[in-house]
A and B are shown apart, each in its own frame.
Chain A
Amino acid sequence: NAGVTQTPKFRILKIGQSMTLQCTQDMNHNYMYWYRQDPGMGLKLIYYSVGAGITDKGEVPNGYNVSRSTTEDFPLRLELAAPSQTSVYFCASTSDRRVNTEAFFGQGTRLTVV
């Protein structure tokens, strides 16, 4: 099992550029999340999804968009990159099995906006 796969691992963007962070999981998890982690800080929830076709805002959604057309994929879109979006981004997924809930994370994407 690959688990949760994020691409790219590193990216440098210029202000105003756009990009999509890819996230895919092969565990058939319904719940997927995007977090950002600023230096020395904890994780802040950007968006989450409870299943294909359903997404919702987290704590810090401004400047981002998501889609969930399939169970496996949950891409995060930055439309007009700003220096404030310089961060490490983590994608995660969880199962909704009542007895054995797990949370899995991708390896992270380090994004720098200059």
Chain B
Amino acid sequence: AQKVTQAQTEISVVEKEDVTLDCVYETRDTTYYLFWYKQPPSGELVFLIRRNSFDEQNEISGRYSWNFQKSTSSFNFTITASQVVDSAVYFCALLSMDSNYQLIWGAGTKLIIKP
């Protein structure tokens, strides 16, 4: 069965600190896709990144970076030098080709950045 676990329900840090959001996934499929979405207080879902299962390269985009490790089934998200505007709920999701493309979602991590 596919599953996504975001064990951190809520994280609170002071502005400019680095913060890592954890995502652990379970799937028996060999081809799958992992996503991170941001949901700011306004409510919409903002796409951040997609990673294919056959591409384990880490990715950096400005202050955001992602660490994909198939050996530990993890796809962690780090924000460097956090800012108040980073405050949001962050969701990790799994899309599996062999399970009819059902998007499987983690419960989300609420990130609070204090000024």
Contact = CB atoms under 8 A, between A and B. Distances in A.
Interface string A26-49: 000001010100000111010010
A103 B43 contact: no
Contacts of B103: 33, 43, 45, 92, 94, 103
B113 to A, nearest CB: 18
B97 interface: yes
B105 A43 contact: yes
Which of B45, B47, B93, B105 has the most CB atoms of chain A within a 10 A radius of its CB? B45
B100 A56 contact: yes
A27 to B, nearest CB: 13
A43 B31 CA distance: 23
7 contacts: A42-B108, A50-B101, A56-B100, A58-B102, A98-B97, A103-B95, A103-B103
Contacts of A99: 52
Contacts of A94: 95, 101, 103
A88 B95 contact: no
Contacts of A108: 43-45
B101 A31 contact: yes
B109 to A, nearest CB: 10
Contacts of B95: 94, 101, 103
A77 interface: no
Given A45-B103, A58-B102, A101 B43 contact: no
A96 B101 contact: yes
Nearest to A40: B110
A64 interface: no
A79 interface: no
Contact of A41 (B35, B93, B107): B107
Given A88-B43, A90-B45, A101 B50 contact: yes
A96 B102 CA distance: 11
Contact of B106 (A42, A56, A96): A42
Contacts of B91: 42-43
Interface string B70-97: 0000000000000000000001010101
B33 interface: yes
